[in-house]
Structure 1
Amino acid sequence: MSEIMNLYQKRVERVYKAINLEQPDRVPISSALGTWSSYYAGYTDSESNWDLDKCSKSLLKVVNDIPMDVLHMFYARPGGMYQALGSKSFHYLNESNIVQYSDENAEVMTSEEYPEFIKDPFRFMVEKVLPRKYSELAKDSPAKDLALAKGAMQFGMYGAKKGAAEANLITQYGIPMLFDGLAIMPLDWIADFFRGIKGAFMDMRRRPEELLEAAQALTPLVIRFGMGQMFSTPPKANPKIILLPLHLPTMLKTADFDKFYWPMFKTIIEAFVANGVIPMPFYEGDWSRYYDHLQELPVKKTLGWFEHGDPKELKQKLGNTMCILGLFPLTLLQYGTKEECITKAKELLDDLAPGGGYIFSTDKELLSAADGKAENIIAVNKFVMEYGIY
C-alpha cells in the first residue's frame, strides 16, 4: 500500500472510531470549508459552479495547505443544469457572491392543493412543482423535452467531474469526503420548496391536519431519495453518511415540533440506520430543549453536527448516544486572534474529547471569503492535531 493510501486508511479509521463512540489515536478534524475554498484558491463561487475544474482545484489547494482528516463535501452546484431548466430560485446577487435561494419563489403550491399533494407527492412534484420552479419545464414539448435532455446532460457531467475530484483528493492527498449524500426532512421540504416558510407557519394554524398528512406522505419519499443517493455513489468499506440539514425545529414551539417534525424525523433516522447508513443531522440553532428527544435515537448510529450549545451539557446528555461535532464559532475564525482561536479549541477539546465520540469541526459551513482567516484555520487545526492526542 502506498504512503498516501496508508494515510487515507488511518484517517478513515480515526473518523469511524469516533463515530462508534470509541477513542481513536487523536481527535479527528472534519473541515467544513464549503465555498470558502473557492475564494481561498482565487476564484468566486460563481466561477466554481460553472467551471467544475476550478472547484476541483480549489479543494486540492485547501487540502494541500490546511491540516485535516476529512473534508465535508463537494460543494459546487451545477450552474449549467439550473440554466438549462430555467431555475427561478437559484441566482447570484453579483458575480462574486455565493449562490442564493429566494424564499419568495418557494411558495409554488397553494394551501388548497394539499389534498392533491397528499394523494401522490411524487406526481404532484413532477407535474406541478417542477414546472412552476423551472420555466423551461413549463413549456410544451419538444421545448420541455429538450430542456430535460440538456439538464440531464449537465447533471451527468457534474457527476463525472465530482467523482473525479473526490478520487483525486484520495489518491493525491489521502483525504476522504465525509458526506455521501443529502436529504431534506419533510417539514423543511414543504417550507423551503413548496409553501415557503411563512406559508408553512400559517398552515400550522389554519390547516394543521393537512400539513401533518403532507409531512407523513413525504416521509417515504425522503427515505427513497436518500437511499437512492447511497446506491448511486461508489461503494465504501465503512457505512455511508447522509447529511440532513434541519431548518425549522428551533423556530417551532415544542408542541409543534412534537406533532409536525419529530415523528417523521425519528422514522427517517431509523430507516437510514436500518439500511446501514449513518445519518448526520445538522442541528441548526440551539437544540438544548430537544436533547431528551435526541436521546431516543439509535445509539452509536448517528453523527450530530451542532451549531450552538453548551459543550459540557452536550457531552453529558448525548455523549453516550451519538458522535458530536461542531460548535467552534466561525465568528472567532473571522475576527479573533490565533491565540483566542486556540484557547477556544482547547476549551472544546477539554469538554468534548474525553472518552472519544468527538470530531472537531466548526459550527457551520464556511461559505464566503470573510467566513474565516486562513491563518486562524491552519493554527487551530495544527493545535487540535497536537493537543487532541489520546
Structure 2
Amino acid sequence: MSEVGNLYQERVERVFKTLRLEQADRVPVLGTYGTWSAYYAGYTDSETNWDTDKCGKAMLKVAGDIPMDMTHQVFNRPGSVYQALGSKAFHYLSESNIVQYSDQSANIMKEDEYREFSGDPFRFFVDKILPRKYRELAQDSPVRDLALTKGAMQFGMYGGKKGAIKAALAQQCKMPLLFDGVILHPLDWIADFFRGIKGVFMDIRRRPEELAEAVEALTPLVMRFGMGQVHMAPPRPNPKVLMMPLHLPTMLNTKDFNKYYWPSFKKVMEFFAAHDIYVIPFYEGDWSRYYDHLQELPAKKTMGWFEHGEPKELKQKLGNTLCLIGLFPTTLLQYGTKEECIAKAKELVDALAPGGGYIFGTDKEVISPKDAKAENIIAINKFVMEYGIYS
C-alpha cells in the first residue's frame, strides 16, 4: 500500500495509542473546528444546517487545508428535522448567524412533575416533553403522525449524508472522525432541555430529593442512548468514542456536585469503560477542585478535554488516569500573533507531552468566524507536528 494509502490508518493508530496513555511517534493533533469550518469555506452556519452537502464541502476544505491527524465530528445540525417537528428551541438571530438555543424554551417541565418523570423517564419524555418542545407533535392525528413521518425521513436522509461526509473525508483526505455520538449527564439533560438552568438551581433548593431521584432515574436512559449511537455507527477495529459536554459542575458548590453530579457521572463513565467505549467529557470551566474525583475514573479508558487548568498540575494529577487535550486558548488564535501562538503551543507540549497521553487541541470547539485565524491554526498545528516528536 502507498504512503498516502497508509496515512488514514497511521493517524488513527497515533490517536488511539495516545488515548491508551501510550507514547506514539509524536503528539497527535485533533481538529476541533465546528461551525467555524462553514465560514472558512465561504458559507454561513445557516446554509450548512439546511444543506448538509455544504457542510461536507466545508469539512473537506478544512481537512485539505489544515494539518491535523483527526477531526472531531460533523458539525452541522439538521434544520429540516427541526422544521418538520416545529421546534420551539432552535432559531437564528439572522440568516447568517449561528443557531441559537433558548433556555426559556427548555423550561417546559413543571417543578411538581418530578415524581411522574422519575417513575418512567422515557414515557414522560415521549408523552410530555416532546409535544411541549415541538409544535407539530402537540397536534392531533393525523397532523402529528405526518410530522413524525416527515421528521423521521429527514433525519434518515441527514444520517445518510453524515455517513457520506465521513466516507469522503476518509477517501479523499485520509481524515478520520473521532466521535461516534454525543451523550449528556442526567443533570445537564434536565437543565438544558426540561427545566432550564435557572429552574434546576431553584429545584436544588426547593425539591432536592425529587431532583436527586430524577437524576438517578435518568442515568440508565443516558447509557441506553449512548449504546444506541454506538451500535448505529459503522464497525471499526478501535473502540467507539462518545463526546459528553459537561455544563453545570463548575456552577455547583462541591456539596451539590457530590450529591447531584458525581455519582451518576462516575456510574456512566464506568459503564462505558466496561464496554470498551471511550467517553470524552468536555470539562467546561475550571475543574481543578474536582481533580481528586477524576482520579477515581477507570484508568486509560477516557480522555479529558479541558477548557481551563494549569498544565503541569493537570499532568501531575491526571496524567496516569486519562488522556489530556485542550487548554490552547481560542482567543489567542484570533488576537495573537503567529509567534505568540507558537510560543503557547510549545508551553503546552513541554508540560503535557512527556511520556505520552496528550493530544494537542483548542480549549473549546472553534465556532464563530472570529474565533480563530486560519493562518494561526495552520502555524501551531505544523509546529506541534514537527516539535512534538518523541525521540
* TM-score category (smaller protein): over 0.9
**Secondary structure of 1:370's aligned partner:** coil
Indicate if the aligned counterparts of 1:319 and 1:357 stay in contact, CA closer than 8 A.
yes
Indicate if the aligned counterparts of 1:246 and 1:283 stay in contact, CA closer than 8 A.
yes
Q: CA deviation at 1:173?
A: 1.0
Distance, in Å, in 1 between the alignment partners of 2:161 and 2:328 is: 31
Distance, in Å, in 2 between the alignment partners of 1:192 and 1:63 is: 32
Task: Report the number of matched residues.
Answer: 390
User: In structure 1, what is the equivalent of residue 128 of structure 2?
Assistant: 128
**Secondary structure of 1:304's aligned partner:** strand
User: In structure 1, what is the equivalent of residue 73 of structure 2?
Assistant: 73
User: In structure 1, what is the equivalent of residue 169 of structure 2?
Assistant: 169
Equivalent positions of 1:1-390 (< 5 A) are 1-390=1-390
Letter of the 1:260 counterpart: Y
Q: CA deviation at 1:17?
A: 1.0
Letter of the 1:223 counterpart: M
Indicate if the aligned counterparts of 1:66 and 1:378 stay in contact, CA closer than 8 A.
yes
Q: CA deviation at 1:54?
A: 0.3
Letter of the 1:362 counterpart: T
Q: Could you tell me the percent identity over the aligned residues?
A: 71
Q: CA deviation at 1:121?
A: 0.4
TM-score, with length taken from structure 2 = 0.99
**Secondary structure of 2:327's aligned partner:** strand
Indicate if the aligned counterparts of 1:50 and 1:79 stay in contact, CA closer than 8 A.
yes
Distance, in Å, in 1 between the alignment partners of 2:326 and 2:95 is: 30
TM-score, with length taken from structure 1 = 0.99
Distance, in Å, in 1 between the alignment partners of 2:187 and 2:3 is: 46
Q: CA deviation at 1:265?
A: 0.2
Distance, in Å, in 2 between the alignment partners of 1:91 and 1:268 is: 31
Q: Deviations over 1:353-388 (max 9, x none)?
A: 000000000000011100000000000101001100
Distance, in Å, in 2 between the alignment partners of 1:137 and 1:381 is: 46
Indicate if the aligned counterparts of 1:85 and 1:137 stay in contact, CA closer than 8 A.
yes
Indicate if the aligned counterparts of 1:5 and 1:170 stay in contact, CA closer than 8 A.
no
CA RMSD of aligned residues (A): 0.6
Indicate if the aligned counterparts of 1:4 and 1:172 stay in contact, CA closer than 8 A.
no
Extract unaligned runs of 5+ from structure 2.
none
Distance, in Å, in 2 between the alignment partners of 1:313 and 1:22 is: 20
Q: CA deviation at 1:2?
A: 4.4
Q: CA deviation at 1:5?
A: 3.3
**Secondary structure of 1:278's aligned partner:** strand
Indicate if the aligned counterparts of 1:4 and 1:171 stay in contact, CA closer than 8 A.
no
Extract unaligned runs of 5+ from structure 1.
none
Distance, in Å, in 2 between the alignment partners of 1:264 and 1:238 is: 26
**Secondary structure of 1:140's aligned partner:** coil
Q: Deviations over 1:55-106 (max 9, x none)?
A: 0000000011000000010011000000000000001111111111000111
Q: CA deviation at 1:274?
A: 1.0
Indicate if the aligned counterparts of 1:5 and 1:171 stay in contact, CA closer than 8 A.
no
**Secondary structure of 2:279's aligned partner:** strand
Letter of the 2:221 counterpart: L
Q: CA deviation at 1:275?
A: 1.2
